Amino acid sequence: MSQLHESLLVPAAGFWPDRRGERVHVRWLGTAGFEIRYGDHVILIDPYVSRCSLARCVAAPLVSDEALVRRLLPRADAVIVGHTHFDHALDVPAIARATGARVYGSHSATALCLGGQVTPSKIVDVEEALVAGGTGSFISEIGPFRLRFFASAHSKLVLGRVPLPGDIDDCDAVPMRLHKYRCGAVFGVEISVGGRTLFHLGSAELVERTLAVHNLDLLLLCVAGWTKGDDVPERVLRALSPEAILLSHWDDFFRPLDEPVRALPALQMPTLVDRLMRASRDVRIGTLPLLGETTL
Sheet holding 218-222, edge to edge: 137-142, 145-151, 187-193, 196-201, 218-222, 244-248, 284-286
The CB-of-85 to Zn ion minimum distance in angstroms stands at 3
Determine, following the binding rule CB under 5 A, whether residue 182 of this chain makes contact with Zn ion: no
The CB-of-154 to Zn ion minimum distance in angstroms stands at 6
Strand partners, 26: 36, 294
**Positive or negative torsion for Cα 198, 199, 204, 209:** negative
- Candidate ranges 18-26, 58-66, 78-86, 113-121; the one touching Zn ion (CB under 5 A): 78-86
Burial letters for 263-286: b for 16+ Cβ neighbours within 10 Å, e otherwise?
Answer: beeebebeebbebbbeebeeebbb
Count of residues touching Zn ion (by CB under 5 A): 1
**Total count of residues recorded for the chain:** 296
Determine, following the binding rule CB under 5 A, whether residue 85 of this chain makes contact with Zn ion: yes
Nearest residue to Zn ion, scored by beta-carbon proximity: 85
Task: Please answer whether residues 64 and 50 qualify as being in contact, where contact means their C-beta atoms are separated by less than 8 angstroms.
Answer: yes
The CB-of-278 to Zn ion minimum distance in angstroms stands at 27
Pairing of strands 284-286, 244-248: parallel
The CB-of-7 to Zn ion minimum distance in angstroms stands at 27
The CB-of-126 to Zn ion minimum distance in angstroms stands at 16
- Candidate ranges 2-10, 80-88, 93-101, 143-151; the one touching Zn ion (CB under 5 A): 80-88
Nearer to Zn ion, 192 or 203 (CB): 203
- Candidate ranges 83-91, 104-112, 192-200, 233-241; the one touching Zn ion (CB under 5 A): 83-91
CA 93/CA 113 separation, integer angstroms: 5
Nearer to Zn ion, 32 or 193 (CB): 32
List interacting residues with Zn ion (CB under 5 A).
85
